[in-house]
Amino acid sequence: MKFKINMQPLFTKTKHFIQSKWQSFRSWQQQPVIYRMDESEHVCNNCGHTFVGNYCPVCSQSARHGRISWVAIWQGIGQLWGIESRSAVYTLWQLLWRPGYLVRDYISGKRQVSYPPVKLLFILAAVVALIRYFFPAPEVEISNTGYLYVDLALNWLDNHQTVGELLTSCLLILPTWWIFRNAPLYPDHTIPEGFFLQVYIAILSFIISSIFVEPNLIGVLLTGVYVFAIYKQLFGYGFWGTLWRLLVCSAISVATLTVLTTFGILLSKP
């Protein structure tokens, strides 16, 4: 007697489960934070004003602030990282899972969704500098292209990775502004917005650098994937439309950095 197992219901349930989770993830990417108004009445512990809402309209103190407790101790410690509202850890979490959407939220005016990016960049730069100080990467091979000053420029960049990463990001601002100016989801992209876009990219670069202390192909590819995801989610071009534009921007940035470094070396020669 033969038994035939029908796997179709299992496949259907699995498919629906995956689709449901994916839709939930996509919804979270689009709107990770839902703000709710506190409708109860409070008396401000700072100025004594009676109000309805989350914050006192007179002195702006939070309605949650009361007498000192164990929770208040944790809040006081956490204020360094903005854990009460814009946690640095939560911002990094968003940057890993919804990078382009986070950037669009911030540059379009939603400041409360993110820990201050410039402040976060300097914190991570200090952390990465410490990691590279205590865990130095092996010396890279000296560049030998046959062009003296190009080799000097490339070797200088190899020995100053953090500075090179920041300069590369800065030099992407103008090409991005020009090439992505007619983007379908974020047209009329401005240079100041481009500055903060590159700040977020530099933050991601520092995160990956802290994971891969020694420069390798995996770290480079991972950085490239994240940069591509940011540009695609932010500007809304398709796969190939995003790819060729990003490659052009990167080529302009790297070429400009090499030229500037070469001129810097020439000018520093006695």
pLDDT digits over 1-60, tens only?
A: 555 566 677 788 888 888 888 888 888 888 887 777 778 888 998 998 999 888 888 998
- What is d(CA 5, CA 121) in angstroms, rounded to the nearest whole number? 56
pLDDT digits over 165-218, tens only?
A: 677 778 899 999 999 999 999 988 899 999 999 999 989 988 887 776 666 678
Contact, 131 vs 206, CB < 8 A? no
Q: How confident is the model at residue 86 (pLDDT cuts 50, 70, 90)?
A: low
- Tokens standing for residue 20: 């449901």
CA angle at residue 133 from 257 to 119, to 5 degrees? 65
- The reported pTM is 0.75
- Residue 248: its pLDDT value, please? 94
When the pLDDT of each residue in the chain is averaged and rounded to a whole number, the result is 79
- Tokens standing for residue 215: 């420069």
% of residues, the chain, pLDDT over 70: 74
Contact, 241 vs 183, CB < 8 A? no
Contact, 143 vs 255, CB < 8 A? no
